[in-house]
Chains A and B, each alone.
Chain A
Amino acid sequence: MRIYFLLFVLIWSGCSKSETHDMAEHDMATHDAAGMVLDAETPVLGDHSLYQVESSWTNQSGSTLSLSSLAGKPQVVAMTYTSCEVSCPRIVSAMQQIQRSAKSDVGFVLISIDPDRDTEQKLLAYADRMGLDPASWNLLTGDGDDVREMAALLGVRYQQMPDGEFAHSNIITVLDGEGVISHQQNEIASDLTSQTIEAVKSVVRAEGGLN
């Protein structure tokens, strides 16, 4: 069934006479990218750090925080919502497994894709129910546009269905201490979760932590 889609892309790219030319220039531009410098106002973070995004979030304790406040240790991030009964508990369960196996100072972040309904009270009740200790876990809710942007950054796609539930990607992302994506798990499966655990351990090792 992908064939149809590929066909569209081929038609689309085939329509542009400049495409070959574009690609050649694109390759050259890649070399230039190495010399890219960030604006002086940008915080001292890696070029690919998600923490340069200026959005404001509220966690399950009612604290307001910026993404950059998550810097300093690896963070394992997923986008879920608390009334989700099907896949989100599996995502959280996989993250708990990662937490048990990593045995290090690693943070865990759940960003709600349902900010209208997921108040901080809901987040707190969810954290209690799932046994997510507040020292390691941040359950975040925020502005709908910021949630959309976060999804764009993490490659998460989501859509509210007519019944109020959400269809969404099941992606678990590992961020290093500077907020750069170092690993992504695109579905919930035990072998993939094992790979994520290894990825977390290697980030911890690279940053001089113990595990």
Chain B
Amino acid sequence: MLLISGGVYKPLYDNGGDVEGVALAPFYMDENPVTVGDFLEFVTANPTWRKSVISPLFSEESYLLLWKDDLNPGSLGRKEPVTHVSWFAAKAFAKWKGNRLPTIAEWEYVGSAGLRSPDGKTEMDFQKNLLALTNQPKPNPLPDVGGSPPNYWGIRDMHGLLWEWVSDFNSALITGESRADASLERKLYCGSGVVGASDFTDYAAFMRYAFRASVTAAYSGSNLGFRTVRSL
């Protein structure tokens, strides 16, 4: 794990004047996403999270979809990022490691770093490259983790390889919200609502927010993995 110095994360949505941003304490973050090999160790040590026995409360049937059986990832490379894992499973893995899932603020803070500075927006073409990475077809099978150049913090594969679970994914609101439902939804999705956003240009971040708002905790998909963090 690598140390991420504390800092201030400025949320994509200012929610009515959060100009100060979210102060983040320093934390450690996995350099790479969790791999198939890592997850094999986890299910070996934790039988209740094997695919044949996992409670349907904690995952859809697609959990570890491509694994041949409980302890056999089949043709998946051990260094490929693990996918088809639910939020519950990712959370349990992190806890088993003595870690936790990053918050949206932590993930986005690290994800906003460029190659040479904590704020990628100061680097030429940073956002254009991010959007290109986010939109490019995902290779099948997925490449091994660690393939991207390290960002300012030394963290790899934040963009272009996977969507990643965060601990508070279910803070993004789309429906049935109690206060200012329509306006929040507009902030999340609608072009005209971009006036509510703190940064008009970060479309890759908009896509991540939309994705988080679209999933449930038992969901598991072919391009959704995770990495863990630890507080100091």
Contacts and interface: CB of A to CB of B under 8 A. Distances in A.
Interface of A: 1-2, 4-5, 8-9, 11-12, 15-19, 22, 25-26, 29-30, 32-33, 36-39, 41-42, 47-50, 52-53, 84, 86-88, 145, 148-149, 151-153, 155-159, 161-163, 165, 167-171, 186-187
B189 A4 contact: yes
A156 B215 CA distance: 12
B57 A152 contact: no
Contacts of B91: 149
B135 to A, nearest CB: 7
Given A17-B140, A26-B65, A155-B216, 6 more contacts: A4-B189, A12-B223, A25-B65, A29-B65, A48-B55, A169-B177
B214 A152 contact: no
A11 B135 contact: yes
Interface in B74-94: 87-88, 91
A47 B189 contact: no
B61 A26 contact: yes
Contacts of B61: 26, 29-30, 32-33
A52 B223 CA distance: 28
19 contacts: A1-B190, A4-B210, A15-B135, A16-B222, A17-B137, A18-B140, A33-B56, A37-B52, A41-B48, A42-B48, A48-B57, A52-B57, A157-B172, A158-B170, A158-B171, A161-B16, A167-B184, A170-B177, A170-B178
Given A36-B52, A167-B177, A170-B176, A49 B57 contact: yes
Contacts of B47: 39
B71 to A, nearest CB: 15
A177 B88 CA distance: 23
B138 A152 contact: no
Contacts of A151: 170
Given A5-B210, A22-B62, A29-B65, A15 B138 contact: yes
Contacts of A4: 189-191, 210
Contacts of B214: 5, 9
Contact of B55 (A1, A19, A47, A187): A47
B15 A36 contact: no
A145 B94 CA distance: 13
B80 to A, nearest CB: 13
A15 B136 contact: yes
A159 B65 contact: no
B18 interface: yes
B172 A159 contact: yes
Contacts of B100: 145
A41 to B, nearest CB: 7
B72 interface: no
Contacts of B168: 148, 159
Contact of B217 (A152, A159, A161, A169): A152
Given A39-B53, A48-B57, A86-B178, A1 B185 contact: yes
Interface string B199-232: 0000000010011011011000011000000000
Contacts of A156: 170
